[in-house]
Amino acid sequence: MIEVLDSGFYTSIQDEGRKGYRHLGVPVSGAMDQKAFELGRLLLGRKNEISTMECTLIGPRLRFHEPCNIVLTGANMEVKLNQKLVSNNTILNVRAADELSLKRVEKGLRTYIHINKSLITEKVLGSTSFYFPLTKSSVIEKGDHLFWLKSESTLRNFNSKIKWDDSYIEYKELSVYKGPEFKILTKEQAEQLFKMPLKISNQNRMGCRLKSSLEIKPDLMLSQSIRPGTVQLTPSGTLLISGFDGQVSGGYPRILQLTDEALNVLAQKIEGTEVFFKLSNTHL
């Protein structure tokens, strides 16, 4: 069992996502950085579905009441286990009464805490991912107790470390495909789109906003399907990139679509960061 001593800035339970319900207006949710999520699963040898803690900007402080193994992936935070600094991508042995504390990020935005146990969390529409009001809460709270299923999995000692390239966290290029309404841009606007730096003015699980100078004439458009990574352009020039908890339809032109890799990169970008679009040489 885990006792939440401090919840951090925005810590939620996430898994692979709530798939197959977008036609009902339900976002996919799930881990924003699927690359970091998958790494944790592989390091712990978890072949089945798992739930993990996604920590944004400032992580939680947790007290473990039973032994387990954990691993942290994604953004680099200052992490201490019983006041001793520990590193990402290394399996840690946690014993009863141990305390884990994650402070502000040093590189990236989202860190994942993976446990070699199956957390007992409510499954809604096939997923344990938090998404209020579909689930009771959007984040874990101070004083919460997280339980896991009893199993034969016991505390194991690990001495090896994995070499992992997490340089993608600092990438500034976002690889994209052309969207269905890309052709509304003039040739000059299209060229400008792939040259100019774009500053992230707002970022959360719903999506993010980037300001550009690509103003277009308002036009009546029926609401169309969008998914995580869809880039819409408003008449004022604001670019809206849908996130994992974002709406499933929108009425602005869909000029670009982020690749899966670009979604992982964007998930680790804090507000104020500049990014660039790069047209992918592969087909969607």
Longest CA span, the chain = 62
Instruction: Indicate whether 52 belongs to any domain.
Output: yes
In 3D, which of 264, 265, 258 has the Cα closest to residue 280?
A: 258
Rounded CA gap, 90 and 54, in Å? Answer: 17
CATH of the domain at 249: 2.40.100.10
Going by DSSP bridges, is the β-strand pair 99-115/68-81 parallel, antiparallel, or unpaired?
antiparallel
Q: How many CA atoms lie within 13 A of 167 on its CB side?
A: 3
Residue 151 and residue 181 in one domain: no
- For 216, the domain range is 171-279
Residue 275 and residue 209 in one domain: yes
Residue 137 and residue 58 in one domain: yes
Which of 140, 166, 192 is the C-terminal boundary of a domain? 166
Instruction: Indicate whether 53 belongs to any domain.
Output: yes
pLDDT score of 266: 97
Instruction: Indicate whether 38 belongs to any domain.
Output: yes
Residue 60 and residue 128 in one domain: yes
Instruction: Indicate whether 284 belongs to any domain.
Output: no
Residue 153 and residue 190 in one domain: no
Contact 249, 26 (CB under 8 A): no
pLDDT score of 199: 95
* Torsion, CA 50, CA 55, CA 59, CA 65, rounded to 10: -20
Residue 19 and residue 65 in one domain: yes
Contact 231, 258 (CB under 8 A): yes
Residue 158 and residue 214 in one domain: no
Residue 53 and residue 152 in one domain: yes
The total domain count for the chain is: 2
pLDDT score of 220: 66
For each of the chain's 284 residues, which pLDDT tens digit applies? 999 999 999 999 999 999 999 989 999 999 999 999 999 988 988 777 789 999 999 999 999 999 999 999 999 999 999 999 999 999 999 999 999 999 999 999 999 999 999 899 999 999 999 999 999 999 999 999 999 987 655 556 655 566 778 899 999 999 999 999 999 999 999 999 999 999 999 999 999 999 888 877 767 678 899 999 999 999 988 999 999 999 999 989 999 999 999 999 999 999 999 999 999 976 55
pLDDT score of 47: 72
Residue carrying structure tokens 């199993």? 151
pLDDT score of 106: 95
Residue 121 and residue 238 in one domain: no
pLDDT score of 154: 54
Number of neighbours of residue 78 by Cβ within 10 angstroms? 13
Residue carrying structure tokens 């970091």? 36
Going by DSSP bridges, is the β-strand pair 52-56/173-178 parallel, antiparallel, or unpaired?
unpaired
* Torsion, CA 78, CA 79, CA 83, CA 87, rounded to 10: -110
Residue 190 and residue 125 in one domain: no
Concatenated DSSP letters for 237-276?
A: SEEEEE-TTS-SEESS-EEEEE-HHHHHHHHTPPTT-EEE
Residue 234 and residue 138 in one domain: no
Residue 214 and residue 229 in one domain: yes
Which of 129, 149, 166 is the C-terminal boundary of a domain? 166
